[in-house]
Structure 1
Amino acid sequence: MSDHPTGPTQERPATYGQVFAVGEFRPLFGSYLLSTVGDELARVALTVLVFQRTDSALLAALTFAISYLPWLVGGPVLSTLADRLPRHRVLIGSDVARAVLVAAMAVPGTPLPLLLFLLLLVSLFAPPFEAARSALMADVLTGDRYAVATSLTGITGQVAQLIGFGLGGLLLAQFSAPAALLLDAATFAVSAVWLSAGLQRRPAPARTDAGDEAGTFLQDTVGGLRLVAGAPRLRAIVGVLWVAAMFVNAPEAIATPWTLQLQDALGATGLLLAANPAGTAVGGVLIGRFCPPALRDRLLTPLVVLCLGGVLLAGLVPLVLDRGTTSFVVVLVLLFVAGLGGACSIPLNVAFVQAVPSAYRGRAFGVAVAGLYGAQGLGAVLAGVGADLVRPSTVVALSGAVGLVAVVVPLLSLRRTAPRPVEGDPAHVAGSPSAGGPSQA
């Protein structure tokens, strides 16, 4: 995601030191880390708080899910703020608003309906914040630094989720849900101060296309949808992303019955859920940090196949091995391998950014991420329905097999629409607005 002239023929990947040497990346990275830890901490605290008050597992689950809802229904609309306003203001304003709202949620005795309403309001600031942060990263990181930063951010996000969940449980055991919420509010406040001190004051993204003067939110939203839907290369990129997300993450929805099918140990469900993200974290380091850019691009298709093929093989394990510890361990290894393939998101992310002009990136991110959440949700629902009809392992195998078939079309389209770099041609400079046409996530 860069508008700076760095050629796609760069032979060596950037280093972490080069990424962190960019002064504006540090607050962008730090705010992401703080926000992710705080969000997961708050989800745990609110879920426990609602369950304590209502003794309803359904309401607790809905509370956990509310924070994801705005991305699905409002992501393409709210993300337009990142293209209409200076991006540093969107970031700082979102964090200040969330700090105030979460602090209000921590007031003891807050009525449950008001608590849920405040949670919804807090969640509404996530799409514009993430769209602005992702778009601004493209503006401040040149060349391969963006790809390495993408892998680093993904790895950090998964680690931060684990920290947030663990910290939330610790605080709840030692203190109370309001204390956890106050800590969450503090993370947003610190993030706002850090961003204010560390980011340059840039104007709103310039709209250089003829007839593309700023319109209403609806017009900008429709423009973002048309941009993604109307550009063959962007359609191919999000197609691969959405298909992979839908079929790779579907088994998570049936992790509990699948664990019980593999071995009689319900407590091992957490291991089953952690295997794929662990592989993704390792794959992110290997592909993002140690693979040269050209090799990273060539590995895209093998990584996608590895990602979905690992899920397929994991579902077939009960056909080969008897129920027990051995079969469970083999499944864990295969899910870890599938997670390694999840590093395909790094070259996909870079390709997306190169195909979207800076002034459109907020809207394009909103569409891509909203579709990502929708695909994951649909995959989870289908897996749950399937597990009521057949064995969980059969559902997992079908997820991998159907995914491998479904991803063929967008992969072929992605290959057909690949830009052909010409030495010295600025139209093919990585990350320039013209690279690939006005066609990440």
Structure 2
Amino acid sequence: MTERAATYAEVFAVREYRYLFTAYLLSLLGDQLTAVTVAYLVYTGTGSAALAAAGYASSYLAWLTGGPLLSGLADRFARRRILIGCDVARALLIPLAAMPHVPAPAVVALLFGVNLLRPPFVAARAALLPEVLDGDRYPVANGVDNTTAQIVQVVGFAAGGGLVAALSLRGALLVDAATFLISAVLIGIGVRPRAVPARPEGPTRGGPSGGLRIIFTDQRLRAYVLVLWVASAFTYAAEGLMAPLALGYGGGPGTVGLLLAAAPLGTAVGAVALTRFCPPRTRPRLVLPLAVASAAVLTVVALEPPLWMVLGLLVAAGAGSAFGVPLNALFGRAVPAEFRGRAFGVAITGLSGLQGVAMVLAGLAAERWAATTVVGVSGLLGATAVFALAPLWPHRRSGAAAAEPLEHLRMSPTTAEPSPVPTQAANLG
């Protein structure tokens, strides 16, 4: 492990990553545009806020079902083929929603089908990246991806509204479909074929529960996932309270937008700081303190500070939540290649599910108490819960040892083709 952080130029010097990144950017935009456009389409066609919300919430529901059931495909088939297949299928499904006279419930069902293809796509890409990038390029690329996702989250929502206004609802859906089609073409051109990952034998071989066994039978992976789930759930519970929080400060939709944009902005800044200005050996040591801080700073909101301070606290919470960038790299390199699809699928499914549950519980609590109180208490509980997980954290391992693959899970040698980067470097944390 080098003490020097990899530069963005070194990351983008890898041809395969350039194509994967561009395809990822287009897929992210497609996901955001689809969610916004279908929400408009359903609501304007039916006037039903419940159906519009169901269409938007289908992304969470898809992860809860598609995560456990479909993420394992990334361990059973060539990952490049999974990426292309998911993009092509989405490009074919979305135009169906743009057809005239399609009932609103059918549009919601189509959107659910589109979102159901996201878990295998994300799992396959996450499993492929450690084979594409060596050394510190891998965690720095995770930072680039994370920052991009935060920016696209904001831009995608704004662009979705603009496309609806400029192209009509159905025209915007066709643009959405085109983003996935171009993504598939880019992956087909720029990512070289690799053999199907080795199929391990034994109790961790497969099935929806295989990913759970892989994670929770190892101390390191168990600690990584629990810290990620707990910190994110309590921190992002506040995201479901932005409307009542804005109203409590006398604001309107513009204030809601500012509050929603604050945490993603902080996460983007935090990811850049961690990957560009923090030595590689230091990053793993910052994961736990940042996870605690991401929730702890929100406790001040309970004191009902001025709105500008609330925005600053949300930015700080987002910056702390950038702990997920080095944690993602530790997790990805600690799991053998043949298990990565299932392991990432379980981690992301649990993350999405717990965030959704936390938002619902925060909303129920806000029916009785002020939104500022609920956000502050959520932050306090989150910081306490993460701190309680500290004994599980692999403190005594070195940065490199903490990221070594789990050899006891490697049932058979991998059959994948040689990676274009040194394999020994790909196993460093």
- What is the TM-score with the length of structure 1 in the denominator? 0.89
Cα offset, 1:33, TM superposition:
0.5
2:195 partner SS: coil
Equivalent position amino acid for 1:419 in 2: R
Cα offset, 1:348, TM superposition:
1.1
Unaligned runs of 5+ in 2: 411-429
The residue that corresponds to 1:308 in the other structure is 295
User: Equivalent of 1:377, from 343, 346, 356?
Assistant: 356
Q: Does 1:287 align with 2:274?
A: yes
Question: Superposed, which structure 2 residues align to 1:354-365 within 5 Å?
Answer: 354-365=333-344
Equivalent position amino acid for 2:314 in 1: L
Cα offset, 1:42, TM superposition:
1.3
Equivalent position amino acid for 2:329 in 1: V
Give the stretch that moved more between structures: 198-207 or 179-188. 198-207
The residue that corresponds to 2:226 in the other structure is 239
Q: Is the 8 A contact 2:231 2:291 kept in 1?
A: yes
Alignment partners' CA distance in 2, 1:35 and 1:49:
20
Alignment partners' CA distance in 2, 1:315 and 1:48:
34
Unaligned runs of 5+ in 1: 1-6, 322-326, 422-427
The residue that corresponds to 2:254 in the other structure is 267
Q: Is the 8 A contact 1:35 1:187 kept in 2?
A: yes
User: Equivalent of 1:433, from 402, 405, 419?
Assistant: 405
1:240 partner SS: helix
1:221 partner SS: coil
Cα offset, 1:79, TM superposition:
0.4
> Identical aligned pairs, as a percentage?
47
Alignment partners' CA distance in 2, 1:160 and 1:264:
25
Deviation by residue 1:313-350 (Cα, 9 ceiling, x = unmatched)? 2332x2xx5xxxxx000111111111111111112112
Q: Is the 8 A contact 2:232 2:321 kept in 1?
A: no
Cα offset, 1:163, TM superposition:
2.1
Alignment partners' CA distance in 2, 1:175 and 1:347:
40
The residue that corresponds to 2:58 in the other structure is 66
Cα offset, 1:109, TM superposition:
2.2
Equivalent position amino acid for 1:11 in 2: E
Alignment partners' CA distance in 2, 1:116 and 1:266:
25
Alignment partners' CA distance in 2, 1:154 and 1:338:
15
Alignment partners' CA distance in 1, 2:26 and 2:377:
38
Q: Does 1:248 align with 2:235?
A: yes
Q: Is the 8 A contact 2:331 2:403 kept in 1?
A: no
Cα offset, 1:285, TM superposition:
0.4
Give the stretch that moved more between structures: 111-120 or 87-96. 111-120
Equivalent position amino acid for 2:370 in 1: R
Equivalent position amino acid for 2:397 in 1: P
Q: Does 1:278 align with 2:265?
A: yes
User: Equivalent of 1:46, from 38, 45, 70?
Assistant: 38
Rate the CA distance shift 1:263–1:293 in 2: closer, same or farther, 3 A. Answer: same
The residue that corresponds to 2:424 in the other structure is none
Cα offset, 1:97, TM superposition:
0.8
Q: Does 1:186 align with 2:186?
A: no
The residue that corresponds to 1:340 in the other structure is 319
Equivalent position amino acid for 1:433 in 2: P
User: Equivalent of 1:349, from 293, 306, 328?
Assistant: 328
User: Equivalent of 1:155, from 124, 147, 165?
Assistant: 147
1:299 partner SS: helix
Q: How many residues align?
A: 410
Cα offset, 1:358, TM superposition:
0.6
Equivalent position amino acid for 1:105 in 2: A
Equivalent position amino acid for 1:131 in 2: A
Question: Superposed, which structure 2 residues align to 1:67-216 within 5 Å?
Answer: 67-207=59-199, 211=202
2:14 partner SS: coil
The residue that corresponds to 1:424 in the other structure is none
Alignment partners' CA distance in 1, 2:120 and 2:25:
17
Cα offset, 1:269, TM superposition:
1.3
Alignment partners' CA distance in 2, 1:374 and 1:118:
21
1:68 partner SS: helix
Rate the CA distance shift 1:48–1:210 in 2: closer, same or farther, 3 A. Answer: closer
Equivalent position amino acid for 1:194 in 2: L
Question: Superposed, which structure 2 residues align to 1:414-425 within 5 Å?
Answer: 414-416=393-395, 419-420=397-398
Question: Superposed, which structure 2 residues align to 1:220-235 within 5 Å?
Answer: 220-235=207-222
